[in-house]
Chain A
Amino acid sequence: MTGLADASVLAPPVGDPIVAVAHVTLRFGGVTSLADVSLQQERGEVLAVIGPNGAGKTSLFNCLTGVYTPQEGTIEFRPEGKSAVSVVGRRPSRVNRLGIARTFQASRLFNALTAFENVRVGVESRLHTGPAGAMLLLPRTRRENRRSRDRSEELLAFVGLTDRADELASALPYGDQRKLEIARALATGPELLLLDEPAAGTNLAEKDALQDVIHRVNTEMGVSVLLIEHDMRLVMAAAHRVAVLNFGRLIAMGTPAVVQHDEAVIEAYLGRTDAGTAPEGGADEAAGPEEGT
């Protein structure tokens, strides 16, 4: 086990990558949020991205989903059986249509809609009824309505929220909100699911439930998962590999067991005894615009 993992540390994995990030640099004015980050995720893999606050994890997510456009580097997404497409420069809704769905660090559900309606909005973004069809209730509209209703129910059942379908999204307990966000993201039929701290603010039981959902998303639905998470227990249990960011740079990558004992990682989390040689960009951390929340 250890021998295998050693080989994969910082070495680009060979095989069938679903997403390939190469030399991505993202700057906000003088602040470098991501510096020459390259990483690949294999199809079917659960890859965790960890790192201290301000390390650039969410910036990476925002680059992967079209919210930010990196100044340098390429991001290629390879949908199953199709040729690679570049993510950079596409608006978020286009990126979502390629097959990359995401959740947000702070839940961004549609609060005035019910849990069911939240999922349904996601399902329906892939359907075709236009305003005319909707107003005239054409046969296709009815067909699509049935389909979206069934699919939304399936997805709610998948994350275990069937009983809460008609409750307002905002009225759900926090753990259920996180699950609902995952269901809504899955509703768009992604091949790659980006989860931004799904376990933040949840209790132990909710964490276990989330871990189970992530596992089943990966195994039963065959969706690759890219996961930002601070909860190490969850990361170690859920992820096949772990990428570690610090000050916008990728400092380690490998199996959870290997990363845990990586010296650079320990240093990033715990600091070094001989102070004064903080890594480049250290002063930027507090001023970075990504520190907004």
Chain B
Amino acid sequence: MSAGTTATASARARVLWRSPEARRLAAWVFGGLVLALMTGPSGSQAAPVAGFTGSLFHPRVLVFVALGVALWALSFVRARYGERVRETSVHLTRLPARLVRTRRARYGVYLVVLVFAVVYPPTLSGFWQEVLVDQIGVFVLLAIGLNVVVGYAGLLDLGYIAFYAIGAYSGAYWTGALPVHPPFHLNPFFVIPFAIAAAMVAGVILGAPTLRLRGDYLAIVTLGFGEIIQIAATNLQGVTGGAEGVTGVPHFSVHALGVHYAWTLSNLPYYYLLLGFVVLVLFGFRALEDSRVGRAFTAVREDEVAAEAVGINVLKYKVMAFAIGASTSGFAGLLEVSKIGFVTSQDFTVQLSILVLVLVIFGGMGSLPGAVAGAAFLQWVPQILRQHPLFGYQPQDLYIYLGALLVVMMIFRPEGMLPSRRRKRELALAEQGIGTADAMSGSADPAAGVAP
């Protein structure tokens, strides 16, 4: 072992370190270590470094490092052979892709999914039926509502759950469950227009002044709004029941034309009610997307200055998108509060707003099938993994994993699971240097091309 060989060895190491692949590998491994550390056991006063040793000197760290290396290898292969893989896959999927693109085939797929959604749930256990209603059904509705705001109009709304809260409290108020009493008590079915209207009015009141702001500022204001609603709901104990909440919100029931039926705590009937509403909303939003209003949303998202120049009142359409999203959220709030029968201010956390945003981004911004699939998938898989002996996780770590998932997705598939055609085009264009892939409006230079 002479000094010369160590010198060349260190020189070789330096050369290796300079190669982008090595740095990328280091970054992936580092990411894995951070994830292991963040989700591992925490230290205590008696053993302050127990968190580190427990995370980094425990076999579980290997899982995370292996994941990092695997993803590095995937990105390496993609960078090297991505073009060829893409060409072959385009070649192989040309026929199915063309089939799916025909309207009849697409409706065929939707029909199969719908039939499956009707027939399959009765065979599930009670636990999974509950997941289906409380975790999946409600969040699918929330995601397709937020998709209008974020996906169509390109507005970043971080206080979305506030409208869910407003819908929930409307439900509790009009059915007489809150400490303050309404002039008359209503069946939840008749509360629907009230809940939607309340959330929509709140959306307009918040939106009209703040939607003049661009991108980041709007996100901050909506974040603040979400906090205000939750804190107000906690502190106004005499009105909302505060953090302890109120119980006794009645279930949906039908008493008309000789039909008497009441929903109960049991999940399956609520699932079908929710499914019906979701399908209705989906039909509505599908028509909206391919309409004058939907195209105007896209125009506003793409280029506000040009949209104004062709006579589109940008502010009006932004408020409209915001209000449509808000009312969907309020509707979901009413359904959930009536199903579980009680409401507490503790439910409306900012994490929930972010979760819905993650569902939309994961599914594919601006795409209805994406929002549905993203919400269903991301709400379902953690429930499976939670109990799993190998992949089991602590519930409080869920958001860390979701964050990591989003980071990975932004690298490999930034357009989301089932992207919309328009969004896919935008990203493809951005790669060619045309326009901006940033879906949030306001990031594009507003003056470009206006000033000489």
- List chain A positions with a Cβ less than 8 A from chain B: 53-54, 57-59, 62, 65, 67, 91-94, 96-97, 101-102, 104-113, 117, 120-122, 124-127, 129-131, 134-137, 141, 144-145, 148, 168, 170, 184-185, 187-188, 289-293
Inter-chain contact A110/B292, CB cutoff 8 Å: no
B320: chain A residues within 8 A (beta carbon): 131
Inter-chain contact A137/B293, CB cutoff 8 Å: no
For B1-40 the 0/1 string (1 means CB < 8 A from A) is: 0000000000000000000000000000000000000000
B216 CB–A CB distance under 8 Å: no
Inter-chain contact B298/A110, CB cutoff 8 Å: yes
Inter-chain contact B449/A105, CB cutoff 8 Å: yes
The distance in angstroms between the C-alpha atoms of A130 and B292, with both chains bound, is 8
Most chain B CB inside 10 Å of its own CB: which residue of A110, A112, A293:
A112
The distance in angstroms between the C-alpha atoms of A85 and B334, with both chains bound, is 48
The distance in angstroms between the C-alpha atoms of A129 and B294, with both chains bound, is 11
- A sample of 20 cross-chain residue pairs with beta-carbon separation below 8 angstroms, ordered by A number, consists of A53-B452, A58-B450, A67-B305, A92-B308, A93-B309, A96-B311, A102-B309, A108-B305, A108-B449, A113-B298, A113-B302, A124-B292, A124-B296, A125-B310, A129-B293, A131-B320, A131-B324, A136-B287, A141-B291, A188-B310
B310: chain A residues within 8 A (beta carbon): 96, 101, 121-122, 125, 184-185, 187-188
Inter-chain contact B429/A293, CB cutoff 8 Å: no
A148: chain B residues within 8 A (beta carbon): 292
Inter-chain contact B311/A111, CB cutoff 8 Å: no
Inter-chain contact B293/A131, CB cutoff 8 Å: yes
B314: chain A residues within 8 A (beta carbon): 93
Count of B residues near A, CB < 8 Å? Answer: 40
Choose one: A58, A105, A134, A187; the contact of B288 (CB below 8 Å): A134
Looking at the assembled complex, report how far the CB atom of A148 sits from the nearest CB atom of chain B, in whole angstroms. Answer: 7
Most chain A CB inside 10 Å of its own CB: which residue of B293, B296, B298, B451:
B451
Inter-chain contact A121/B295, CB cutoff 8 Å: yes
B287: chain A residues within 8 A (beta carbon): 134-137
Looking at the assembled complex, report how far the CB atom of A89 sits from the nearest CB atom of chain B, in whole angstroms. Answer: 15
Choose one: A107, A120, A130, A137; the contact of B295 (CB below 8 Å): A120
A290: chain B residues within 8 A (beta carbon): 451-452
A120: chain B residues within 8 A (beta carbon): 295
B122 CB–A CB distance under 8 Å: no
Most chain B CB inside 10 Å of its own CB: which residue of A104, A125, A136, A170:
A125
Inter-chain contact A112/B449, CB cutoff 8 Å: no
